Amino acid sequence: MQSPPGLPRDALQHRVIHGYRRAFVHLGRGPAILLIHGIGDRSDTWGPLIAELARDHTVVAPDLLGHGRSDKPRADYSVAAYANAMRDLLSVLGIERATVVGHSLGGGIAMQFAYQYPERCERLVLVSTGGIGRAVHPLLRLASAPNADLILPLLRLGVVRRVGHVVLGLLAALGTPLGRDAADLRQIFDALPDATATRAFVRTLRAVVDARGQVITMLDRCYLARGMPTLLVWGRHDVIVPFEHAAVAHAAMPGSRLEVFDGAGHFPHHADPDRFLAMLRDFITTTAPASFSVAAWRELLRAGRDGSEGAVRPTQPIGALG
């Protein structure tokens, strides 16, 4: 296996966990940062950010199961299963806590990780994250349809790939919102080289999207985010996970920061990587890692989202999120 461009040859590693081979980048020393990519993508999406962050951090960037250079078995591709996998990978590497950065599906996994394992999450950075509302681009709803797994294999045909590239090129040339992400979508489009990869993509997508849109939501549990430093990053022209979700998430997550990339679509970390890196570094250096108290978390959970049961709000941070 070859490391992503610009990284040392030994940066890309693999471990067999629960019988499946997992590929991941592991680089640097210092406080840990876990970078989680979106659906159909792989760790390469973080590009030169990894090398820059690894100057003073331990960076872990996995290829999620079913993606990239990791195995693609018939397995559980739910968000909760992915959150478990992140815990297991960090444990194998001897990392107890990390700042967790997730893009798109990876944002949903990051939120689930922080909910399931709040004691292991220091901060959250959610980039064009899923899991906020039902709306999602119609193409994803179509790809999750019952018979999509019979149609998607056609993407491997050379003529279909060429047509797809032409369509994406036209969308970009016309300046359409989706066209802003044409180069990134083309890479994902080309990352389904065989039937095994296509099946894993469909299983992952169906775990989070159906004909009515996104299936999962964090809005019912986001009140648990109190005490968790959270940064929301969104491209103003995102039509894959609509930009309108940014304001909803910001309002629902106490104390969160919101950064908007005016010229970006669904991949703000690609549209302006220098700004993204500076913003991420500033967020990490100006926030303290979340602390976690089982008693405080339990107290807030009993009070509920609106505190209707009359419990006293905890005065210490609880560092949890749903």
Average pLDDT score, the chain: 85
Residue 316 confidence (pLDDT) = 35
Q: Which of 5-14, 266-275, 305-314 has the lowest mean pLDDT?
A: 305-314
Average pLDDT over residues 11-38: 96
Q: Which tens digit of pLDDT belongs to each residue from 55-87?
A: 999 999 999 999 999 999 999 999 999 999 999
Q: Is pLDDT at 130 greater than 90 in this prediction?
A: yes
Catalytic residue among 67, 238, 256, 293: 238
Q: Judge whether 10 counts as a catalytic residue.
A: no
Q: Name the active-site residue from 266, 269, 270, 293.
A: 266
Q: Domains plus CATH for the chain? A: 12-137+215-303 (3.40.50.1820)
pLDDT score recorded for residue 101:
98
Is 306 labeled as catalytic in the residue annotation? no
CA gap 313, 198 in Å, rounded: 47
- Return d(Cα 71, Cα 62) in angstroms, integer: 12
Q: Which residue has the tokens 């359409």?
A: 176
Does 291 participate in catalysis according to the annotation?
Answer: no
Least confidently predicted of 46-50, 98-102, 141-145: 141-145
Q: Quick one: pLDDT at residue 195?
A: 79
Whole-number Å distance between alpha carbons of 300 and 199: 40
Q: Given 43, 70, 104, 128, which residue is catalytic?
A: 104
| 24-33, 45-54, 93-102, 223-232: range with lowest mean pLDDT | 223-232
Please name which of 45, 268, 272, 266 lies closest in space to residue 176, comparing C-alpha atoms.
266
Contact in structure between 85 and 66 (CB atoms under 8 Å): no
Question: Which has more confidence, 91 or 138?
Answer: 91
